[in-house]
Amino acid sequence: MAQERRGRGGRGGDGRNKDSDAFESVVQIKRCAAVVKGGRRFSFNALVVVGDRKGKVAFGYGKAKEVPPAVEKAVKSAHKALAKIPLRGKTIPHKIIGRYGAARVIMLPAAPGTGVIAGRGVRDVMVACGVTDVLTKCMGSTNPVNVVKATINGLKQMRTRDEVAELRGVTL
């Protein structure tokens, strides 16, 4: 149940003015209960994916006693960690497997018009990054936190044809 928020203007705890192209998606909100003398004390965790739809993407994880502050903390954390992802048009340059813990995410480039064929967390990352045509498959762990981390790990490993040629010192 992902929520989507776009361009929040100047709202936010840090007062920064966010551009209107910013994409934020709440992937997961979890409630945690601590049993205390008077009953249960609840806290909330939020997993958020942030991107500019032009190749920058990151995730954030925030915890607080209520949902809105947890989401704000996660968004703030994500904005600090934005990473540039090389894209080829509206798809990824090549096949890649992202790994994190027991989660594996296989990502394949797709022809224009295919769409984002992906599950819950992977779809949010791809949309935030600006990828519109990709095929994916999640294997192993389906924990949304691990799947999002595996997806971003795989995207960070992407290399364009020019980068590979430069690294090898040859022309392709």
pLDDT tens readout for residues 98-149: 999 999 999 999 999 999 999 989 999 999 999 999 999 999 999 999 999 9
pLDDT by residue (tens digit) across 139-171? 999 999 999 999 999 999 998 888 888 989 888
Q: How far apart are the first and last CA of the chain?
A: 43
Q: In this predicted model, what pLDDT tens digit does every residue of 1-16 receive, in sequence order?
A: 555 554 443 334 333 3
Give the residue-averaged pLDDT of 45-73.
95
For CATH 3.30.230.10, list the domain ranges present in the chain. 85-165
Domain 3-83 - what CATH class? alpha beta
- Structure pTM? 0.84
| 141-168 burial: b if 16+ Cβ within 10 Å, else e | eebbbbbbbbbbbbbeebeeeeeeeeee
Kindly report, as residue ranges, where domains of CATH 3.30.160.20 are found in the chain.
3-83
Domain spanning 85-165: CATH 3.40.50.80: no
In Å, what is the CA distance from 62 to each residue of 39, 49, 58, 59, 84? 24, 12, 13, 10, 22
- What tokens appear for 151 in the block? 């997806």
